[in-house]
Amino acid sequence: MSSYLTIPRKFLQRPAVLYVLQNHGFSTKEHTGKQTTKVYDLTQYEFSYSAEETQRILEILNHSSEEAFFEFKITKGMAKKLIKGRSQLGTFQNVSQLLNIDGFGLKNVENICDKVLNEKPSQILKEEEFVQSKVLIFKKLVKPRVEPQIIKMVSVARRIPKADVFVWEERANYGYLQKAPLGSIIIAMKLAQMRGILTALLDIRQEGKKGGNLFYLRDILVSKLFNLKVGGERICGLNLADQIMQSEKILDWLPPLELNNETQEKYFSIDKVQRKYISTSLFISLAFYQTVIENNVLSHKVLIEG
């Protein structure tokens, strides 16, 4: 039988049509009228793939995404139909099940299988390999949590009262990190990260103000003004801070603080460890206020001559 047959799939199960196909091979030809050389008999046709090739085909068809199908030069429309057919069946158990997909004939199925077999195995992952690689990437490259220090920094930033100026003391030179141990470098990186977060949080609270209200002081400024350097180390200067909070005149360039009894009592009721942190803030704020805001000439002289 050499005539061109167009048989809708829904009619293939009818006995009369099966009788015709059982007694006659049928061939396909393009709409141009050119006869193809391959002859199919649906009742006797078997896909000519070995067990290994069949397993390879099924693995790829069952585990590939739509994008992966494109690598096999499978059209977008066919890729969507493959995924839809796969979702309906769960998985393809044999190649012949592809014939149940709407629009897939023997020629379509063979073309897809041939494309899959000609592709290099290394270009696509099996499902279990993909899952393993995803887990590996997540464990090695992604941290699913925010570190406690960062959470604490955000919490602290929210509790900082509104102010016209925020002052931060930092090192002016990080050259010391070139030969520093790994631990010191990691700490410096963490501090830089925390400073960046704090800067962003405080900047948001400016409420449309132009220009920044966060200033950075070189650490040498406080050290010189309050003479806190002993050798190469910076001391906390708690005793000096206590004297300042008692409104004593202890430095030529610094006027005594005018503090009421309640403020002084509250300060000295705090334990020594906490007062050390407060003393650092005290020195930074006084240094900035006297040198920048008040333009204290005596403080400038200490910095220049020191």
Q: d(Cα 192, Cα 170) in Å, to the nearest integer?
A: 10
Q: Give the confidence band of 104 by pLDDT, cuts at 50, 70, 90.
A: confident
47 close to 96: Cβ distance less than 8 angstroms: yes
Structure confidence by residue, pLDDT tens digits, 123-180 = 455 555 555 555 665 666 666 566 677 777 777 777 888 888 888 888 767 777 888 8
What is the structure's pLDDT at 285?
93
Higher pLDDT, 81 or 202: 81
Q: pTM of the entire structure? A: 0.50
Q: Is the pLDDT of residue 101 over 70?
A: yes
Coil, helix or strand at residue 210 = coil
Question: Could you give the CA distance from residue 224 to residue 275 in angstroms, rounded to a whole number?
Answer: 21
Q: Is the pLDDT of residue 248 over 90?
A: yes
| Other CB atoms within 10 A of residue 42 CB | 15
Alpha-carbon distance of 282 to 239, in angstroms, equals 13
Burial degree of 290 (CB within 10 A; 0-12, 13-18, 19+):
buried
**Average pLDDT of span 201-206:** 68
Percent share of the chain, pLDDT over 70: 71
Q: CA Rg, the chain, in Å? A: 40
Instruction: Give helix then strand counts, H and E, for the chain.
Output: 13, 6
DSSP 54-109: HHHHHHHHHH--HHHHHHTT--HHHHHHHHHHHHHHSS--SGGGGGGSTT--HHHH
Domains parsed from the chain with CATH numbers? 9-40 (no CATH), 51-137 (1.10.150.280), 148-305 (no CATH)
Residue 95 has pLDDT above 50, yes or no: yes
Which pLDDT score is estimated for 306? 67
Phi, psi of 170 (to 5 degrees): -145, 165
d(CA 105, CA 88): 18
Q: Are 202 and 214 in contact (CB under 8 A)?
A: yes
Cβ–Cβ under 8 Å, residues 47 and 95: yes
Q: Which of 43-47, 121-125, 275-279 has the highest mean pLDDT?
A: 275-279
Mean pLDDT of the chain: 77
Contact, 302 vs 253, CB < 8 A? yes
According to DSSP, the residues that pair with 169 across neighbouring strands are 217
Can you tell me the distance from the alpha carbon of 69 to that of 61, in angstroms, rounded to the nearest whole number? 8
Determine the Cα angle at 152 with ends 146 and 156, to 5°. 140
Confidence band of 20 (pLDDT split at 50, 70, 90): very low
